[in-house]
Amino acid sequence: MNTVLLAIILIPLVEIYLFIKIGSQFGALNTVLLIFATAIIGVFYARYEGLNTLRSGFSQIVKNELPAYEIISGAAIAFAALLLIIPGFATDILGFLIIIPFTRKLILGKLSNNFKKKSDEKKNFIDGEFEDIEDDNDRKL
C-alpha cells in the first residue's frame, strides 16, 4: 500500500484515539485548551527558531558559504509549524521534535545519511565512451 495513503488513514486514527484517551483523563474543555496552548506555543517557538535559522543563513552568506543546512532547517521548521497548527497530540509531539534544534539536527542528519547511502548505491557504473562501427570494409580489422 502507498505510504502516503497509509499516513492519511493512520494519522487521524491515532489523533482521535489520543483525543479520547487524554479527554477522558483531563476532561473535554481542558483537552481543547491544551490543543490551543500547544498550537500557540509551538507557532511562537517556530517563529523564534526560524529567525535564528535566518540569521545563521545570512552569516553563512556573508562568509561566502552556501547555507545548505539553514535552507533545509528552515523548510523543516516550516513543516513543524504546520504540524503544530494541525490539531492533535501526535502531530504536536512530532512538530516540537522537529523545532528543537538538537533533535532537528539528529533527524536531518539521519535523513541525509539515508540519501547519501542511496546516492552511493546508484553510482555503481563504469563511465566510458563508445563508437558505432558500421559494416564498412575499410573499417574492418
pLDDT for 59: 92
Residue type, 43: V
Q: Domains of the chain: which residue ranges?
A: 35-119
Q: pTM surpassing 0.85?
A: no
pLDDT for 31: 92
CB 98 within 8 A of CB 104: yes
Q: How far apart are CA 50 and CA 76, in angstroms?
A: 10
List, run by run, the mean pLDDT of 10-residue segments along the chain (141 residues): 86 92 92 92 91 92 89 92 91 92 88 69 67 64 54
